[in-house]
Amino acid sequence: MEFNLNAGEIILAQTPEVLRSLLQGLPDEIVLGNDGEQTWSPFDVLGHLIHGDHADWIPRARIILQFGESRAFDPFDRTAMFQQSQSKTLDSLLDEFAMVRGESLSALREMQLTAEDLKKTGLHPDPALGRVTLGQLLATWVAHDLSHVTQISRTMARQYRDAVGPWRQYLSILQ
C-alpha cells in the first residue's frame, strides 16, 4: 500500500482518544503492569509516544525539508520517558499526549506537503537505516502509533494469562 497522508493524519489524530478510552480509569496494576524486565507498561508506552511527538517525527520532517541529506537527524532516546514521566499521573499523560499530538498535527498541516515533498530524503543517524524519504518517515509514524496501541493491548491482556485457565490456548495474544 502506498502511503496516504490524509489517512495517516486521521489515524494519528485518533490515537490519543483511543488510548484515553483504553486506559483511563483503570487500576495502577493494569496501567503499570508489564511483561517483565526490559519491557514497557502501558504508562511507559504513553510517555514514549509523547516524547516521540516532541523529539522525533516533526523535528525530523523539518530536518528533511530544510537540510535534506546534508544533516542527519538528531538521535532519538527511546527510553527518555522513564525520566520524563516519573512524577506524572496517567491522566496527566493522557492530557499531555492529546495536546502534544494536536500541536504535531497542526505543524504537519502547516507544512502543506506535496507528493514531491514526500519523496525528499534525509539521513537517519543509524547507518542501518541510512537514507529515508519524508513519506517513509510519516508512514513510520503512523505504523509506530498502531504498533504501540497493539503493544498496550497485548501487555494488558497478558496480565490475564493465568486467570483465563484453559482458554489460554485459544487466545493468541497470550502466547
pLDDT in tens, the chain (175 residues): 889 999 999 999 999 999 999 999 999 999 999 999 999 999 999 999 999 999 999 999 999 999 999 999 999 999 999 899 999 999 999 999 999 999 999 999 999 999 999 999 999 999 999 999 999 999 999 999 999 999 999 999 999 999 999 999 999 999 8
Q: Are 175 and 158 in contact (CB under 8 A)?
A: no
CA-to-CA separations, 3 to 8, 13, 18, 68, 76, in angstroms, rounded = 8, 16, 22, 20, 23
- Burial per residue of 106-144, b for 16 or more beta-carbon CB atoms within 10 angstroms, e otherwise: eebeeeebeeebbebebbbeeeeeeebbbbbbbbbbbeb
Provide the whole-model pTM.
0.95
| Gap between the Cα atoms of 65 and 113, Å rounded | 10
Placement of cell 489517512 in the chain: 7
Residue count of the chain: 175
| Gap between the Cα atoms of 169 and 140, Å rounded | 32
| Gap between the Cα atoms of 26 and 45, Å rounded | 15
Left, alpha or beta for 68 (phi > 0: left; psi -120 to 50: alpha)?
left
